[in-house]
Amino acid sequence: MKIDWRGVIPAITTKFNEDYSIDHAFFAEHCRWLVDSGCVGLVPLGSLGEGATQSFEEKVALLETALGAVGDRVPVIPGIASLSTSEAVRLAQAAEAAGCSGLMVLPPYIYSTDWREMKAHVSTVINSTTLPVMLYNNPVAYKTDFLPEQIAELAQDHANFVAVKESSTDVRRVTALRALLQDRLELLVGVDDAIVEGIQVGAVGWIAGLVNAFPVESVALFRLARQVREGQGDRASLEALYNWFLPLLRMDTVPKFVQLIKLAQERVGMGSARVRPPRLELVGDELKQAQRTITNALEQRPAIVSALQEP
């Protein structure tokens, strides 16, 4: 299936049962809910999906559930990450065999080093598949920073390298990549609280986190931001929605973003706060502050949703 990168693509969470096994029934429901709300693709097995805590067999089974849930409605683009290059290649090939439409390739977990080794890793994974590949650049989390010049080098070497999820938190990277590559790569924002700024400087898509709890609002925010960039939208409506959403979106950019986003899902009745160790659920002051932020947003939400529904 051809991938439309120009929209909201959730980095989908993974719900666990009480014994920490994967709740496949809910995962399928969650996939359908996000697509029904206007999302244009799904990215399972990413950082937010707790892919690092799942076995190879669990990952493949989760992809099969996602594919079965959405069929040919939207592409499934799993995160491909591992401690070793060989296992990343194995997962990439399993994803292609299962029927995924593309891949999101990460640098290796734990080991971060120089450009020569990081290029060799991602190039090996890209070469192992015929699927279109999106590079995930997140130096904050993975300590490997793919600089614009290096990304341009990868683009020159690999025809199936087609997109970048830019999560450096610096929107100037979008500007730099556009200057170097023109329209060679699709550029997507990977940090929630920079989405409006990223679109204004030329990003075309959003690999989103809080969308797992607030898909309607996320799709509306993306649409309004695109319209304003194109000179056709209502800036006041965009600012009102963004200002309401920002306290929630900032939950995506801190070390415990998985716990926070899953807590938000639980509060809206679409998921559970349960996470797999070594992560633990929030407690104490962290939990109280998160609950206050979510409660404040939910209290204002009816007015926000009503405004979105106005012609």
Task: Output phi, psi for 207, to 5 deg.
Answer: -90, 105
Sheet of strand 79-80, all strands in order from the earlier edge strand to the far edge = 8-10, 205-208, 186-189, 161-166, 133-137, 103-105, 79-80
Is 136 marked active-site?
yes
Q: Could you give the count of Cα atoms lying within 13 Å of 149 in the half-sphere of its Cβ?
A: 1
Give dist(CA 147, CA 111) in Å, integer: 18
What is the DSSP-derived secondary structure letter of residue 209?
A: S
Tell me: is residue 77 an annotated ligand-binding position.
no
Give dist(CA 144, CA 140) in Å, integer: 8
Nearest to 102 by CA among 68, 67, 153: 67
Give dist(CA 22, CA 27) in Å, integer: 8
* Helix ranges, 2-127 (H): 24-36, 56-70, 85-98, 115-127
Catalytic residue among 15, 59, 136, 142: 136
Is 2 marked active-site?
no
Strand 161-166 with 186-189, pairing: parallel
Coil, strand or helix at 16:
strand
Spell out the residues 6+ positions from residue 125 whose beta carbon is closer than 8 angstroms to its own: 80, 85, 88, 89, 92, 103, 105, 133
Catalytic residue among 15, 59, 142, 165: 165
Residue with tokens 């590079």: 135
| Partners of 106 in beta bridges | none
Within 10 Å of residue 220's Cβ, how many Cβ atoms?
A: 23
Active site residues: 136, 165
What are the binding residues for pyruvate?
A: 207
What are the binding residues?
A: 207
